[in-house]
Amino acid sequence: MDVVEGFWVRVSTPLPQLPTAVLVGALVAAGAVVLAPALWRPARTVVTIAHEGAHGLVALAAGRRLSGIRLHSDTSGLTVSAGRPTGPGMVLTCAAGYTGPALFGLGAAALLAAGHAVGLLWALLGLLALLLVQIRNWYGLWAVLATGAVVLAVTGWLPPSGQAAFAAAGTWFLLLAAPKTVLELQRARRRRAAPDSDADQLARLTRLPAVLWVGFFLLVDVGALLLGGWWLLG
C-alpha cells in the first residue's frame, strides 16, 4: 500500500509551471520535427498510433466491437471494427482518425497547464498498453513497444522538470502534426492516391462531399492547436 500510495502522490502532485522559455523551446523542437522531412518520416508513426488509437476508442465508445489495429511501415494504418456498416457510430468512428491526434494534444495541453505532466506521461503509458493488445501485425507491435519504451525511460530516468519538458514537446508535436496530416490527405486525394480515405468513407456514409470532411478535420485540428497553444503559453 505504501508503494501504491507513493506512486499516486508522485503521479497526482502538480508540478510548477514550466518557464515560458522551456515551452517555446519545446515548440521549436516539435516544429523542427514536423517541418524537416528526414525527421517527419519516422516521427509520423507516432501520429498514426494516435490516429488509429482514436478510431479504436471511438469505435468502442459507439458500441462497436474492435477486431484489431494494424500499423504499417509507410506510416499508414488500419482499424477494423464490427457493427452496423452505417449510422452515427460508424460516422463517429471514421471521423475520429484525423481529429484524434489534435484532441489528444489538446487534452495533454490541459493537463500540462494544470501541472500534471507526470500524470500525463503515465496516462499515455496506460493508453499504449490498451492499444498494444489490439495490435495485429509485427510492425505495429514494434512501433507501440518502442514508443512506450521511450516514455517509460523518460518517467524512470528524468527528473520531474525533464519529464514536463518532454511532455511539452510531445504535446506540441501532436498539435502541430495533426493539421499537416490533413493537408497530406488532401494532396493524396488530389492525386487520386487515397480513394478509400477517411474523408471519402465519410462522404459515402453521409452523402456530404469528401472535401467538406477534409475541411472539418482541418478546422478541428487548427482550433485545437490555437486553443492548446493559448493554454500553454497564455
> For residues 199 and 185, is the Cβ–Cβ distance under 8 A?
yes
Q: How many CB atoms lie within 10 A of CB 58?
A: 22
pLDDT tens readout for residues 110-144:
999 999 999 999 999 999 999 999 999 999 999 99
Q: Alpha helices, DSSP H only, in the chain?
A: 2-12, 20-35, 37-61, 88-113, 117-132, 138-157, 160-190, 198-206, 210-233
pLDDT, residue 1, reads 63
Measured in degrees and rounded to the nearest 5, phi and psi for residue 49 equal -60, -45
Domain limits, the chain: 26-233
The residue among 229, 103, 110 whose CA lies nearest residue 172 is 229
DSSP conformation class of 195: T
What are the pLDDT digits (tens) for 176-203? 999 999 999 999 999 998 889 999 999 9
Reported as a single tens digit per residue, the pLDDT across 89-103 is 999 999 999 999 999
